[in-house]
Each structure stands twice: as C-alpha cells, then as structure tokens.
Chain A
Amino acid sequence: MNLAAGRPRGRSGRGIYRMDDAVPLFRMEGISKRYGGVHALDKADLVVHAGRVHAILGENGAGKSTLIKIMSGVVAPDEGRMLLDGQAVSFADPAAANAAGIACIFQELSLIPDLSVADNIVISNPPTRFGMIDRKAQQAIAMAALERAGGGDIHPMELVKNLPLSRRQIVEIAKALARKPRVLILDEATSALTAADVETVFGVLRRLRSEGIALLYISHRMHEIAELADDCTVFRNGRKIATYPAGSKTDDEVVELMIGREYNSVFPPKADNVDRVATPVLEARNLSWMQRLNGVSLTARAGEVVGLGGLDGQGQRELLLALFGVLRGVSGDVLIDGEKRIINGPRAAKAEGIGMALIPEDRKTEGLMLPMSVRDNLSFAAMSRVSRGGIVDRRAESTAIDRMMKLLAIKAASPSIPVASLSGGNQQKVVIAKWLMVEPRIILLNDPTRGIDVGTKQEIYALLRQLAAEGAAIILYSTDYDELIGCCDRVLVLYDGAVKRELVGSDITEHALIASALNIDHQEAVA
C-alpha cells in the first residue's frame, strides 16, 4: 500500500487514530484519474468510517469533485480500487453506486425541474403497487423525508422549478435521505441555505451520524467544518495532502495545507477615501415590487463597497434585479449621478451614462453560455466596444480579452476553449471579466463566491477593492457573513423586502449582522 501518497511536508494521517477499527465502511486506494494530460486525481487514498463526519477540504481543482464523481459512479477511475465493507466494488453508473448505498448530494443540483417535489424525492426507486407508482406511498415517503430534512413547509406536489434555490437544496437533501444511504456525500450542500436552514440540516446530519451512516462533507465554509466534522482530509492538485482529527489544526494551518503556500489575510484592507459629500453614482428611492421589495432606498458612491445582508430571500436578489431593470412593474426611482433614469433591461443598464453591470447568481444559466468559448463569452456584453459597423474587430477583441484574462488570472489553456471545461472558480472569473469588459461604473454582485475556493475568493476580494479604488460603486450581496464583514464599507441588512438596518465600518460584526438579519430588537443586538 502506498502510504507516501502525500507530499513529504504533508503529514500522512492514515492510521494515526482508530487503528482498532477493523474494516472501515469505505476505502479508496491509489485512485487516479487523468483528463487529457491533467491528473485530476493522483494515487489518492481515503478511508471513511461509519458513524463519522469526514470533511474533505481543498481548493477548486484539488480533485474533490473527481473524487466524488468516482465514488458516486459518474466517472470510472483509471487505476486504484474501492472497497465497501472490505469488498472491492466498482460502479458502472450512478444507479449502481446508489444501489450499493452511496448517495450524493451534488453541488449542481440533480433535481428534475418539471417533476414535483415528491416525484423527485423518490426518483431513484419509486414505491410501486401492481407495477405502477404508488402515489400515496410516494407522498408519505416524501413528506417524511422533507420533515427530516427540515423542509416541512414544502408542498410535495409543488414543481421543483417553482421553488427558490434554498428550498431546492432542502429537497435535494430529502431526496438523498429517502434512499437510506450508508455513505452520504454532501458536495457544497449548504451553499444556498440560510443560516437557519443550515442549523436544521446539521441537526439531521448529526442524527444520521449517530445512526451509523458515514458522511463525507465537502464545503468551503470553514466554520461549518469546524462545527460538524470528526475527521478532515485535505486535497491539493489531485493528491491527498493530510488526514487529521478535526480541531487538531488551526484555520490558518488548514488553509496553508490547502493552498500550499503561506496564507495571507483573505481580505484586502478597506479604503477610507470615499467622498461622502459627492452625489452618489447610484441612488434608489423607495423601490417596491410585488410584496418582495417594500420601499428600499439606498445610495452607493464611487469607491464604495456596499454590502447587502440579511437572511436569504429577504429581497436582496430582487433588489439587484430591479436595479438592473430585469423586473417589470417596479415602483420608485433610480437615480444615476443624481438624475432620474428609467432602466428597462440589461441593455439599458449597461449603456453609456449608466454603466451598470450585474454578476448574476447562477453562472451556469444567466452568466455564461457554457458550450461557447471563453473568448465569445467575454465579448458578449462588450460587443459594441470591440466591433465597428457591426463587424467584430478581432484584433481589438483579442487585446481586450488578453488584458482581462491577465487581470483576473483566468486559468484557461486558450481563450478558444469552451467555458464549460474550466473549473468553477475560473468560470466565475470569466463572468466577472465579461462585465468588466464594458468598464462599468456600478457593479452589482449576486453572491459571487458561492461554491468557490479560498484562493479564487481572495483574488475576487482584492479585485473588488481595486475596482472600487478606481472609482466604481459596488453593491455586493453575499450569504457569507465573513465576506460582508471583510469586504464592505457599509452593509444594508434587509428584512422582508426593506432595509432594516445600516451598519457602517467597525459596526459590521457577525453579531450585529445576525441580530439585525433576524430582526431582533436593536438594543439587544448592541448589547
């Protein structure tokens, strides 16, 4: 057995503890997978015990996704073997892995939009009677699974496509539970959840652990891992770097293992040169829309990063869409440089004189044309800048694209390869770069670092600060409190479609954010 799979400086944690455990529930030995010339996984080992939560850490591209895909039967490994209960297993497709008791909650939700919640929950193995699906039994299974996953508020007959992202994620979890798995893999399964939902889900996971299920937990959220994990394994560049008992290393040590270099502070220093007297670049007065926005007013000045906080689904997304002109029937005014403007769509928003850009929530559908090349994707928003008389000026285009790829350090073999082949972090960089091509003065970001690794996050934070320093006004919606605290000069906490509280400078603390997000009394929050 190859115990030296990790790099010399990485500590091979195998066998340090739980030596007594005779046969681990699941074990991977020397698993490798190559895509073209790239080693996605290089002789990786992993040991998963029943009744424990095993966290997998690593940057995007570290090999976590490939590891999961192999475990869940989506791709076959080039070499190495997998053992379940000490017996060698291999999975031809996801159905086979399912049958063996391995269920995976994928980051890219695996729900079917046109089927109902209940249909989705039982999809792998619907209950049947006389050869037909037993609707009543299905309803019962779905309700029970939803209840367990903390989604008791979701109607089992609702179509999945009508649910917001956070509810879909709960359904995804319920679906995995309904399969009664022995090994449950959660790949960024909480990334779209509100803090309250995360608590519920954690309760569920702890119960599963006590029932003897092995949980594999992949997350970029360090505090979630600290709260939940028993064991941790760090991957980097397709190799297993270290396995250690949770809590035996500091956050900084862990991040160093992940990025393989000295870890500097994640957030760049905030600037304090915002001209508070100047006319705001962007001002919104009393925006209302269909009970989702109830009179939101805000200002954003050049050089400022304004955060939007609060629980998920309090109108933050709608606010960004309203500013960008995507919503119809919005009441209230939007002022650009102090002048009232009507913005009736993205084309108007990005036009000269306004210069607004929106980095959307879902990069796969709203941000990118996945099958098209990096070059084409970058040029779409800025067509008018790289063309003359309706003809694309290839040279101007190439120059602009080269500049962007360098500025954002987009890791792509060439601008001609399809965006779909890039890692998640690089895809997100392409989305941001695409909008920077139009040189926007107002940049709206909708949770731009969801499901992105630490290294890329750090780069995006630095970039935001740089853009602000160059005079852009930035509005950042984030579900990650650390990000709001670290990035923003001001944070507007939304509750029920209205600004509940404005936090400035050193008032932006986790306590204040959470308290005002939950709409707890002001005094209490300060105390």
Chain B
Amino acid sequence: MIGLRYRFAEQRGMLLALAIFILMFTLYVANHPAGFTPNVVQTAANKGVLLALVAMAQTFVVLTAGIDLSVGMIFILANCLASYLLVGTPVSVALGVSGVLLTGLACGAVNGLLVIYGRLQPIVITIATGAVFFGIALWIRPYPGSADGFSSDLADALTGKVFGVFPASLLFLIVLVLVVWVPFRRSVVGRAVYAVGSSEPAAYMSGVPVKRAKFTAYVLSGLFAAMGGLFMTFFTYSGEASLANGNTYTLSSIAAVVLGGVSLFGGRGSAIGAIFGALAFRAIGDLLFVFDFDPLWQPLFQGVVLLLAVSLGAARLFQVRNRLDLFT
C-alpha cells in the first residue's frame, strides 16, 4: 500500500519508544531474580500505569504546544481526595470515584479557561494552579493516611490480575486507549488539537475551533491526571500530600512524553507513544534494582538514559543536508 510510508513516518516516535521499552524491560526481566512471572509483570505494570496515565494527561496539553506543570499536583489532589471518598458500599465507592474524576475535570477546566481567556503562557498558569491544587491536597490531608472504612475491593480488582496472569491495570489502560484516545484522535476536536499545536494562526484562519480544542486538551489532561491519582490510591490504600511526589510525576511525565515521540513544539505525537515512553522510563529506573546498584544512583542513571534516548530520536538530523532544515 502506497500510504504505508506515511503511516510509518507518523508512528516513528512511538515505535522508537516501544523499542526502548522492550529493550529495557527485557534487560529488567532477564536479570530479575524471579524472572518473567505474572507477579513481576503485575508489579511493573502497576507502577508503569501510574506514570502512563500522567504522561497521557501531559500529552493532550503538549499536543497543543502547551505544557501542564500541574498534572503532578492534580495527581496528588486526586490521591488525597480518593483516600477519603473510596469508602463503604460499592455504590458509595462508585460515587467517590466519580467525585475524584470530576475534581480532575474541574482542575483541567480551570487551567483551560485561564490559558484561553487569561492569555498567559500555559507554563506560568499551570505552575500557579499546580501550587493551588497542592495546597488543597495538603489542606484536606495534612498527614498521610486514609479514612475509616476505606474499601479496598475496587483497588484490589484493578491492581490485581485477570485470569491470574494478565495485570488488570494494564488491561484498564488498554481499554482507556480504545475508549478515549482512539476516538479522540479521530474526532474533529482531536484534529483541532493537533492543528492548534502545529500552527495556531493557520488553525484560526482555517476556521478551526481553537478555544474548544485547547479547553478539551486541558480538561482531558485533568481527567487523566486524576485517574493516575486514583490508581495511586488503589496502590497504597492511602493518600499523601507529598510535594516531592507531585513534582516527580510532573517532570517524569514530560520525560515520558518526549521519550514517546511527542514534540514539545506541539502538533506531533500520540498518547500511545507517551504510554510506551512512560513504561520505558519506569523500566529504566527499575533496572538499577535488579543490578543491585545503590538506589541513590537512580536519578542520575535515569537522566543519562533519557539523554541517550532523546539523542537517538535526533539522530536523523545527521542526515539533514540543508542546514535550514535543522531548525524546523
């Protein structure tokens, strides 16, 4: 098929992230004392999905050529909120989950409205709103913990295994991709998000709904970050307003997005790439444990591998024969 070349070019960033992930994960499993067992995969999946959700959140905004530095804080806020709301009967847990997700949506909506009508740079706005979101998290949960009667049924189901082999969290992620990302990518507003990120003036001139595109991106970002926070709660059965955690998730989400081939200039990349970026980034971090290095080396090692990975993505620049193309 003639279109194949174009389809491949479109997916190149994602495929690179996938390759890095497979390489890193193979190294990890091969050196893990327990080897390739459902339990090892389950643990890796659970940790990976946390970052993958936040990276997906980041992707929506980065595609519009913005950046969302509040995703980590929405994540923390959702985590703290969930530690109170996931209590009692299945019905009240369901209500709690809805509450958490709605909060995420609301946080994203605030970001979106401020970016659209405040006309400030997304980086400035989301630093500020992120601090506010964290402040709220700290206010509702000054000390780590969870409410009395915390229900762990849903948590266990979603962090466990399906049919005793397949990690449920990964299945959840796949469903999310199929139900949210794929339709989004093929919707008019999804197309508009890419258009706005690639060239906002051209998008406006073409009659693309610029504001709706941006708003949708931020709202979805808030929603996915909250889902990440929810999963954090499923994982730990508690909430903690940890500034360090919030910041780490924000910065890791950017790293994952870049690793996954999403352009920080906007308009290029996909959430699927970002997911593989997140899984690869996590696998890189975990490698140290199986090699018995001091955990203190983890940030340094992760940083070096990230640098190498993004350099690999830039390798095509060596083939550029027209120096002007280096800047586009």
Contact B6 A116 (CB under 8 A): yes
Contact B320 A328 (CB under 8 A): yes
Count of A-B contacts with CB under 8 A? Answer: 103
Known: A94-B205, A131-B187, A157-B6. A112 touches B195 (CB 8 A): yes
A327, CB-defined interface residue at 8 Å: yes
Known: A155-B6, A366-B324. A94 touches B191 (CB 8 A): no
Contact A115 B321 (CB under 8 A): no
Closest to B200 in A: A112
Q: Which of A119-127, A197-205, A244-252 contacts B (4 or more CB under 8 A)?
A: A119-127
Contact A109 B204 (CB under 8 A): no
Q: How far apart are the CA atoms of A329 and B199 in the complex, in Å?
A: 32
Out of B197, B205, B321, B323, name the residue touching A110 (CB < 8 Å): B205
Contact A110 B202 (CB under 8 A): yes
B188, CB-defined interface residue at 8 Å: yes
A161, CB-defined interface residue at 8 Å: yes
Q: Scan residues 121-140 of chain B and give those whose CB is less than 8 A from a CB of chain A.
A: none
Contact A123 B324 (CB under 8 A): no
B207, CB-defined interface residue at 8 Å: yes
Contact B186 A74 (CB under 8 A): no
Task: Specify which of B9, B198, B204 lies most central, judged by the most chain A CB atoms within 10 Å of its CB.
Answer: B198
Closest to B183 in A: A132
Q: How far apart are the CA atoms of A108 and B206 in the complex, in Å?
A: 12
Closest to B197 in A: A114
Residues of A within 8 A of B205 (CB): 74, 94, 106, 110
Out of A112, A133, A161, A327, name the residue touching B323 (CB < 8 Å): A327
Residues of B within 8 A of A112 (CB): 194-195, 198-199, 202-203, 206, 267
Residues of B within 8 A of A408 (CB): none
Q: Chain B 192-218, CB within 8 Å of chain A: the 1/0 string?
A: 001101110111111111000000000
B37, CB-defined interface residue at 8 Å: no
Closest to B269 in A: A114
Residues of A within 8 A of B209 (CB): 95
Out of A99, A106, A123, name the residue touching B191 (CB < 8 Å): A123
Q: Scan residues 108-150 of chain A and give those whose CB is less than 8 A from a CB of chain B.
A: 108-116, 119-120, 123-124, 126, 128, 131-133, 135
Q: Which residues of B contact A (CB under 8 A)?
A: 2-3, 6-7, 9, 183, 186-188, 191, 194-195, 197-199, 201-209, 263, 266-268, 320-324, 328
Q: Which residues of A contact B (CB under 8 A)?
A: 74, 93-95, 97-99, 106, 108-116, 119-120, 123-124, 126, 128, 131-133, 135, 155, 157-159, 161, 175, 289-290, 318, 321, 326-329, 345, 366
* A-B CB contact pairs (8 Å), 15 listed: A109-B202, A111-B199, A112-B202, A113-B198, A113-B199, A114-B199, A115-B267, A119-B191, A119-B195, A123-B191, A131-B183, A158-B6, A161-B328, A290-B321, A327-B321
